[in-house]
């Protein structure tokens, strides 16, 4: 397969340049012959335009367009005309793809591929901390931490501890791969920033309550504490109450699952996946044969759009067209207002008036 990515040099000043470069890089990794130019290649199997407004006329072979936001009536009219000759309009979201279909754009040519991330973001760990010393009688129930170290995923938690005699638990946590910040004594000068840096304040003891709980609430920090003593007297002060170890483990495992859900929501939104989704669409368009896909966007969305027999909502269409018409004039107003401000600042009042007359009578 030979692919030409069509993009004007001026587009590289914007986010489009990143899309072009990342697609080029990952298409090559997938064995695709690909190049980038400002004009289409009639010998290419695919001419893919980034963005859609670069496309002006029909060309031989398969033509696909990257569709960004359609936020005024002129853009909708432009897209509707392009759809007559393009092979596929690849939107950035299901909402835009569905909306264009509802507004009369050929649904047989509509699909979407979600944008990608660079895979460089570190996981923002859940910061859990407490400030107290371990007592000889075991009333702080420090052994809960030893058990949690074997149960939780170290990718998602950071523990902060201020207080004496937590060394065995710190050692266990670090051995199991957890990040730990440990102050082996109460340090007054560090205490306030320590508390305010937490996501959750943890207290495991059943001995009336713990003053760190009060300070955490005063700082607006959520709490995971035992439901006893004066903990119960702070209205809505306990975010996650527990008594037994099993209850505590369940709370932290649930927090871990919530973090995993966020990560998994864009698991297939990598640049490698982004390129593969386009390849699947292009193969389908080239050979007109179903291609197996594990993605919900990309080819799957194209096939679903073509098979969608739902009736168009005339009321929705009329309302959306009115909104897009209004947006056209709002855009004109704000862009004109901005240009006037820039010109006024540059030329002053007299110079601005002279410049306006000069343009009117040229």
C-beta separation of 277 from 113 below 8 A:
yes
Mean pLDDT score of the chain? 90
**Residue 331 — φ and ψ, nearest 5°?**
-65, -40
* In the chain, % of residues over pLDDT 70: 88
Question: Which residues on adjacent β-strands are paired with residue 241?
Answer: 225
What number of residues does the chain have? Answer: 362
Check pLDDT > 90 for residue 114.
yes
The CATH homologous superfamily for domain 2-117+268-312 is Glycogen Phosphorylase B; (3.40.50.2000)
Cα angle for residues 10, 91, 261 (degrees, 5° grid): 110
pLDDT beyond 90 at 358:
no
pLDDT tens for each residue of 204-214: 999 999 999 99
pLDDT tens digits for 84-100?
999 999 999 999 999 99
pLDDT over 90 percentage in the chain: 70
Q: How confident is the model at residue 310 (pLDDT cuts 50, 70, 90)?
A: low
Report the CATH fold assignment for 126-264. Answer: Rossmann fold (3.40.50)
Q: Tell me the per-residue pLDDT of 71-86, one tens digit each, with 9 for 90 and over.
A: 788 888 888 988 899 9
Q: With CA atoms as reference, report the closest residue to 213 among 188, 238, 236.
A: 238
pLDDT of residue 233: 97
User: Do the strands 2-6 and 33-37 form a parallel or antiparallel pair, or are they unpaired?
Assistant: parallel
Cα–Cα nearest to 268, from 87, 119, 126, 141? 119
Torsion (CA) 77, 83, 88, 93 in degrees, nearest 10: 20
CA 236 to chain centre: 31
Q: What is the per-residue DSSP string for 102-160?
A: HTTS-GGGEEE----B-S-PPP--EEEEEE-PPPTT-TT-THHHHHHHTTS-TTSEEEE
pLDDT of residue 343: 64
Compute CA 68 distance to the chain's CA centroid, rounded to the nearest angstrom: 16
Top pLDDT among 323 and 28 is at 28
Residue with tokens 């130019």: 37
What is the pTM assigned to this prediction? 0.83
pLDDT confidence of residue 354: 65
Residues 28-62 have pLDDT tens digits of 999 999 999 999 999 999 999 998 887 776 667 89
Instruction: Tell me the C-alpha distance between 98 and 305, whole Å.
Output: 8
The DSSP line for 287-330 is H-S------SSTHHHHHHHHH--PPP-HHHHHHHHHHHHHHHHH
Q: Compare 355 and 53 and report the one with higher pLDDT.
A: 53
């Amino acid at each position: 397969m030979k692919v030409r990515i069509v993009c004007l040099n001026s587009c590289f000043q914007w986010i489009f340049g990143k899309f072009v470069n990342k697609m080029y890089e990952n298409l090559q990794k997938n064995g695709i012959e690909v190049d980038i130019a400002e004009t289409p290649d009639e010998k290419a199997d695919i001419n893919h335009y980034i963005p859609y407004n670069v496309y002006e006329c029909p060309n031989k072979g398969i033509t696909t367009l990257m569709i960004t936001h359609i936020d005024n009536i002129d853009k909708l009219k432009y897209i509707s005309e392009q759809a007559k000759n393009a092979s596929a309009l690849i939107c950035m979201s299901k909402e835009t793809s569905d909306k264009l279909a509802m507004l009369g754009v050929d649904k047989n040519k509509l699909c979407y591929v979600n944008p990608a991330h660079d895979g460089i973001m570190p996981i923002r760990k859940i910061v859990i901390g407490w400030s107290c010393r371990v007592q000889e009688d075991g009333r702080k129930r420090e052994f809960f931490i030893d058990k949690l170290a074997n149960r939780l995923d170290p990718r998602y938690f950071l523990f902060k501890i201020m207080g004496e005699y937590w060394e065995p638990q710190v050692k266990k946590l670090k051995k199991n791969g957890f990040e730990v910040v440990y102050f082996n004594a109460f340090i007054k000068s560090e205490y306030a920033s320590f508390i305010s840096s937490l996501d959750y304040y943890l207290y495991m003891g059943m001995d009336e309550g713990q003053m760190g709980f009060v300070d955490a609430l005063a700082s607006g920090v959520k709490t995971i504490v035992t439901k006893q003593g004066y903990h119960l007297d702070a209205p809505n002060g306990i975010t996650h109450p527990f008594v037994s170890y099993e209850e505590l483990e369940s709370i932290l495992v649930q927090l871990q699952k919530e973090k995993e859900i966020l990560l998994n929501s864009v698991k297939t939104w990598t640049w490698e996946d982004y390129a593969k989704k386009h390849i699947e669409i292009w193969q389908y368009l080239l050979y007109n044969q179903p291609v197996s896909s594990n993605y919900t966007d990309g080819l799957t969305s194209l096939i679903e759009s073509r098979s969608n027999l739902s009736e168009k909502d005339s009321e929705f269409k009329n309302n959306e067209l009115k909104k897009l018409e209004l947006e056209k004039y709002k855009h004109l107003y704000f862009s004109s207002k901005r240009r006037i401000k820039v010109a006024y600042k540059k030329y002053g009042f007299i110079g601005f008036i002279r410049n306006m007359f000069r343009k009117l009578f040229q």
